[in-house]
Structure formats: structure tokens, C-alpha cells
Structure 1
């Protein structure tokens, strides 16, 4: 295999890619790496993959589920992180939440005369599905009490919060840390790990042809991914520098480093860490009409590559 085509996006859920890239781990693989940044391109990473142009994709679990529901070749061969999102709300609502829990949404409507408004990522995103699960399954909050406005990425979500156009969001690092550093009037009211243990997020999705035709290379890719995870866990300053360089002026290294201290920064490689909770996402996507029918764990995940290199 002369060229390995890699698709990625810059955010924190794909931190292993940035470490692998910045620390030269990709260079230890035999093929030339052709990497494409799909930042601000919506879910077109799925289109590129489905067209056969991508061998390896760093993406969210929800587009991977969608692709597998349509029979697209490939599987999740490594997780990137788990429990990686927080519910972030205006401090006034946070006070209601502390006192009333799920009933805070009713209290908010009584006090404000309107629904609570969330902004979040697009309808096909991990954040959107997680928010729906939290509201519907965990809290049982009536749709009459909440509006959800999907937006095209982290920057629009952040602007919506700072402008006061919305009351809260479900978001991953480093956005909560960055907003806290600016003194924005928002607080973390809960964390995904408290209501969905092993909540899936970013993953590494590998085309079938990679392990069918180049099994040694496929194992090497997973090994380098695992190496990157160990770097994140043991040398967070190195990881912070890598993602800051990828994001440019939007993410100072000191903010990235602080965000890695968050309990929403849980980086792993073993796919087994997210397989059970992924089925909760499958169920939500089916109920929301985003996929036609359920998708089995074996259809989504290929565990054997990680198990081989972990021996």
C-alpha cells in the first residue's frame, strides 16, 4: 500500500490523530500519509469515505453508525475517548438545577415565560444524540419545556452562548474550559459519565480493505493509536501542544492543557470501552428516524486488531 488516505477534524475528540501527526507516529508506517482536514465541512467526511477515497477516518460514533446502517465497508477499530461531554448552562439555570434537578426546566418556564433553549451540534452529531438521550431517557423532560437548535460546529455554539441567544449546550472540551477562562456566566451542571457510563464520542474508523489486504499495516495503525493514547495520558503537555498547533490561534496551548485536566477528557483506544453505550446511541438514532433499523455491535466494531496489539 503506497498511500494511506486519512480523514480527520481538528477538535479534541480526535486528539490521537494530532499526536500521531505531530509526534511523527504516522511516519513510522510504511505508506505515505495523505491527510485531509474536514473542518467546517459538516459531515462530508462521510461522503468522502463512502466514495472510497478514505482508508482511515477520525470521526464521531454517530456517522459511523449511519454508515454501517447503510452497509458501508469499514469498522471502528479504536475508540478515541469516552464520557467526553458536559451539559453547560447559564448560571441562573444552574442554581435552579441545583435545587430542583429535572424539574428545573419547568421552574425556568414559570420564571421566564418561555422554553429553555439549547444550542448544539448538527442533528447527526454525537452531541445532539447525547442531548436527546439525556432529556428523553434520563430526565423525562417534556418537549414542551425545551427547544434544541442544531448548529454547524463549535464556533457557532460558542457564539450563541456568549450572545445570550441560548441558555445552554451539550459540548466537549475545550469549549467549556475556554469559556470559563473568559469568565462567561455558564456552569457545568452534569457530565456524560454520570448518566451514560462509557459514552462514545470520537472513534477511528478503518476501511475493510486495510485489514483484509494489509493486516500488518492495520495492526501497526492501531498500535500507533494506542501509543498516542498513552502519550495523552502520561504527557498531557505534549498532547496539548499538538492539538493547539492543529487548531491555531483558536486554541492557546495553556487552555488545551487545562482542558486535558477535565473529567470530560478521557482518552482510550480499546473499542470495548464504548461498545455497550454505543447501542444506546443506536436506539436513539432509530427512534429519532436517523437510521432505519438497529445496527449490531459486531457490525460496527472490529475488536480483534486492538486485542492483538494489546497482548
Structure 2
């Protein structure tokens, strides 16, 4: 298969306080190529633009590859992409408002949206696993000696609870951390305190300043800290305790799937193509990541993070079915959703099957 070549692509960030399409109407911002013969989602039966929302992070690695290597240019649609980095959950709000056709988000926001009746389905998974339990070297010594009892041993030794710093309570990281503590280890949160912060930057700062003893975080932060010989080590990762542990996913609006199945299938073909590149040529995928992130992450560190045992990059949404069910149950237990959501109302594998089988 032709995996494509890198391209230069501009990025357009939507300012806070403006809806996605209002912003586009004002600016005319388009980040991927336009091909003749398109029709409009905005207008009903035609597709003028395909709006794609993302953040430049590893759970959405397929998007970075698709964009940087020009795969999106091959779609029979005007593709407009918006980088929602450092804008909290605005990506979910924009999607819920009807401004987004394809959103690269986490599985827990997708579950919450389906619980609220928001139209759309997970048409592709981006990865299984992806999250790492990282802790100070001192705690890892206790872990090696005591296993799950290390948290109580830490409290007795330090005179305080173990301090986790991780993402907000609605995030995949928080939900899976609670699953690990509550179900896998059976320790709950009695010997532990969890600080919820917005983003990798605050997590890194909490660790390096000594305000946190550990974290539950995705790549590339574990790889970056290891490269800098920071005094932290991996305890486990989600793939080690949960089969099909979901992370980033691709969420498509029903109007795209129902009214423009050819475009939906074409998008999935490029997603599969990106997954193949990631798995077959991690160096080329790393170059795409580095190009997207600029000076923030070198191609070498990107490649090492991509090759980390924490992540398994995939496209088939069926691979995260079991893990999605676990997240649904955990979110209900935590009071994040009031009623269970059927997995088959969240995952839609038919488009993936159409393009691969």
C-alpha cells in the first residue's frame, strides 16, 4: 500500500467563545485540500465541508499522520480541521452543538454524549492501552516489595496518603485509574489522594515539583521523563490489566454516516492507512508527530513513544468493545452517568468492515 509522503499543512485554532462553523464563516479557514464535486452537510443533502476536530496528542496519532502526510487531501470533500489544544472539553461542546462532523476524542466523552442522546458513533478506535501508571522510584521499590499494599505502606512510611496527579474526573485517565485502584487492586481511594488537573503540563509540573508521587498518563510523558533520567518509573499500563483498554477514538456524526457514506468510508480508509504507517514505519509516523508539534517533541522521542509497550495502534472499533463496557460500568459507579449505555449504541464497526473486509 502507498503510505503517502509528508506535506506542509497550516493549522487553524478556533478562538474560545466562537462556534466552529461561525468561526469558519468569518475566516474561511481551510487546512486540507479542496477537491471538486463536493456537497454540504450544512445545506442538508450535500457536503460543502467535512469539519474535523482534534488535539495534537498521541491518542489521536492517526489524525496527525493523516494530516501531515496529506491523506486528507485525497477525500472528495473540503476538509477543515480545528486544533482544540488547551481548550479543555470545548471539542465535545462544539461537537454537541452540531459544529463538528468527525471528532477525535476519548472514549469517556463519547459514552457521556451517547448517554445524553447526542448523534454519532465510534467508527474507529485509535489505540488500545496508551496510559501508564508512573510513580517515584521510592514508591516503585515499595510496590516491588508489597504489591497493592504499597499504598498503605507508603502512608505508614510518609505519614500521608499517596498523591496521584491526573486528568479531570470525566477523562479516560481518571476513569481507568479508578478502575485499577477499585477493581484490579481493591485498595480504593482510602490510602490515596487524587488531584485532577487539566492537561499534561500541570501533571508534569506536579511530578517534577514534588507535589505528586505518581500519575496515570498517556505517552509521550513517560518516555520524555525516562529520557531525562527523571526519578520516576513505570508501575503498569492499561493494556496489562484491561483487555481492549480504550483510549482515543474517532467519533462520526450520524449525518455523515447516514447521508454521506462514501465520504465516511473514504475517511476510514485513510484512518486504516495511517494505522498501517504507524505500525509498519514508526520513524515516518514520528516525523509526522514532530512536524505537528514543532519543537515540543523531537522525532526520536516521538518514535520511542510510539514504540512504547503502553500503546497498540489500531482502527477496528470492535477491539475496544470489552474495555468500553468496563468504562461504562465504572462511569455509572462513579455517578458520571445515571444509566448504562449499550455498547452497540456507541461502537459502529460496519464502516471499518466495509473498507477492510
TM-score exceeds 0.5: yes
Q: Deviations over 1:68-114 (max 9, x none)?
A: 00000000000000011110000000000001000000100110000
Asked whether 1:200 is paired with 2:264, we answer: no
Distance in 1 of aligned mates of 2:257 and 2:236: 39
For 1:301, the equivalent position in structure 2 comes to 347
For 1:26, the equivalent position in structure 2 comes to 72
> Deviation at 1:261?
1.7
Highest RCO, 1 vs 2 (Cα 8 Å, sep ≥ 6): 1
Q: Matched residue pairs, number?
A: 311
Q: Deviations over 1:115-140 (max 9, x none)?
A: 00000011111111111000001111
> Deviation at 1:193?
1.2
The runs of 5 or more residues in structure 2 that have no matched partner are: 1-46
Distance in 2 of aligned mates of 1:229 and 1:66: 26
* Structure 1 segments of 4+ aligned residues over 3 angstroms from their partners: none
Secondary structure at the aligned position of 1:262 is classed as coil
Residue number among 136, 144, 148 corresponding to 1:102 in the alignment? 148
Asked whether 1:57 is paired with 2:103, we answer: yes
Secondary structure at the aligned position of 1:143 is classed as coil
Residue number among 121, 126, 148 corresponding to 1:80 in the alignment? 126
Q: Deviations over 1:252-271 (max 9, x none)?
A: 11110111121112100000
For 1:310, the equivalent position in structure 2 comes to 356
Distance in 1 of aligned mates of 2:305 and 2:130: 11
Distance in 1 of aligned mates of 2:343 and 2:177: 22
Distance in 2 of aligned mates of 1:240 and 1:280: 31
Larger Rg over CA atoms: 2
Asked whether 1:275 is paired with 2:321, we answer: yes
Contact 2:53 2:104 in 1 (8 A): yes
> TM-score scaled by structure 2?
0.86
Distance in 1 of aligned mates of 2:48 and 2:70: 18
For 2:113, the equivalent position in structure 1 comes to 67
For 2:290, the equivalent position in structure 1 comes to 244
> Deviation at 1:218?
0.7
> Deviation at 1:142?
3.8
Distance in 2 of aligned mates of 1:150 and 1:246: 27
Secondary structure at the aligned position of 2:195 is classed as strand
Asked whether 1:169 is paired with 2:219, we answer: no
For 1:211, the equivalent position in structure 2 comes to 257
Distance in 2 of aligned mates of 1:201 and 1:27: 26
Residue number among 254, 265, 270 corresponding to 2:311 in the alignment? 265
Asked whether 1:225 is paired with 2:271, we answer: yes
Secondary structure at the aligned position of 1:263 is classed as coil
Asked whether 1:160 is paired with 2:200, we answer: no
- The RMSD of aligned alpha carbons is 0.8
> TM-score scaled by structure 1?
0.99
